[in-house]
Amino acid sequence: MPVYKAPTRDTRFVINEVLNLEQYAALPGFENATADMIDVVVEECGKFCSEVLAPLNLSGDQEGCTRHPDGSVTTPKGFKQAHAQFREAGWGTLSAPEEFGGQGMPHVLGMVAEEFTASANQAWGMYPGLTAGAISSILVKGSAEQQAKYLPKMIANEWLGTMNLTEPHCGTDLGLIRTRAVPQADGSYAITGTKIFISAGEHDLTENIIHLVLAKTPDAPDSTKGISLFIVPKVMVNDDGSLGVRNAVSCGSIEHKMGIHANSTCVMNYDGATGYLVGEENKGLAAMFIMMNAARLGVGIQGLSQAEAAYQNAVKYAQERRQGRALTGAAEPGEKADTLFVHPDIRRMLMDAKAYTEGMRALCLWGALQVDLVHKATAEEDRQMADDLVSLLTPVIKGYGTDKGFDTCVNMQQVFGGHGFIEEWGMSQFVRDCRITQIYEGANGVQAMDLVGRKLAQNGGRAVQALFALVDQECAEAKSKPELEKLAGQVEKANGDLKAATMWFMQNGMTNPNHVGAGAHHYMHMMGIVALGLMWLRMGEVAVAKLAAGTEDKAFYEAKLVTARYYGERFTPDAGALRRKLETGADALMALPVEAFATA
Q: Which of residues 8-67 bind a copy of itself (CB under 8 A)?
A: 8-10, 46
Cβ partners under 8 Å of residue 189, min gap 6: 181, 182, 183, 215, 217, 230, 274, 275, 276, 277
- Assess contact for 331 and 338: CB atoms under 8 A: yes
Restricting to residues 207-246, name those near a copy of itself by CB under 8 A. Answer: none
Q: Is 448 in the site for a copy of itself (CB under 8 A)?
A: yes
Cβ partners under 8 Å of residue 84, min gap 6: none
Among 68, 77, 225, 348, binds a copy of itself (CB under 8 A): 348
End-to-end CA, the chain: 45
Q: Is 383 in the site for a copy of itself (CB under 8 A)?
A: no
DSSP 279-331: SSTT-HHHHHHHHHHHHHHHHHHHHHHHHHHHHHHHHHHHHH-B-S--TTS-S
Mark residues 559-578: x for contact with a copy of itself by CB under 8 A, - for none: x--xx-xx--xx--xx-xxx
State the maximum Cα–Cα separation within the chain, in Å, rounded to a whole number.
84
| DSSP-assigned letter for residue 247 | P
Q: Is 324 in the site for a copy of itself (CB under 8 A)?
A: yes
552 counts as catalytic: no
Restricting to residues 81-140, name those near a copy of itself by CB under 8 A. Answer: none
Among 443, 457, 466, 500, binds a copy of itself (CB under 8 A): 443
Q: From residue 224, give the alpha-carbon distance in Å to each of 154, 173, 227, 228.
A: 28, 8, 6, 9
Restricting to residues 517-536, name those near a copy of itself by CB under 8 A. Answer: 517-518, 520-521
Q: Is 347 in the site for a copy of itself (CB under 8 A)?
A: yes
Q: Which is nearer to a copy of itself, 181 or 304 (CB)?
A: 304
Grouping H, G, I as helix, E, B as strand and the rest as coil, residue 361 is helix
Q: Which is nearer to a copy of itself, 337 or 500 (CB)?
A: 337
Q: Is 327 in the site for a copy of itself (CB under 8 A)?
A: yes
- Assess contact for 319 and 343: CB atoms under 8 A: no
| DSSP-assigned letter for residue 165 | -
Listed ranges 20-28, 256-264, 373-381, 462-470: which one lies at the site for a copy of itself (CB under 8 A): 256-264
Listed ranges 156-164, 268-276, 467-475, 589-597: which one lies at the site for a copy of itself (CB under 8 A): 589-597
Q: Which of 441, 474, 492, 541 is catalytic?
A: 441
Among 12, 435, 499, 538, binds a copy of itself (CB under 8 A): 435
Restricting to residues 190-209, name those near a copy of itself by CB under 8 A. Answer: 196-197
Q: Which is nearer to a copy of itself, 433 or 541 (CB)?
A: 433
CA-nearest of 77, 74, 78, 97 to 86 is 78
Q: Is 482 in the site for a copy of itself (CB under 8 A)?
A: no
Strand partners, 232: 211
Q: Is 553 in the site for a copy of itself (CB under 8 A)?
A: no
Q: How many residues bind a copy of itself (CB under 8 A)?
A: 110
Mark residues 174-193: x for contact with a copy of itself by CB under 8 A, - for none: -xx-----------------
- Please name the helix (run of DSSP H) or strand (run of DSSP E) that holds residue 253, with its range, or none: strand 249-254
Q: Catalogue the active-site residues.
A: 441
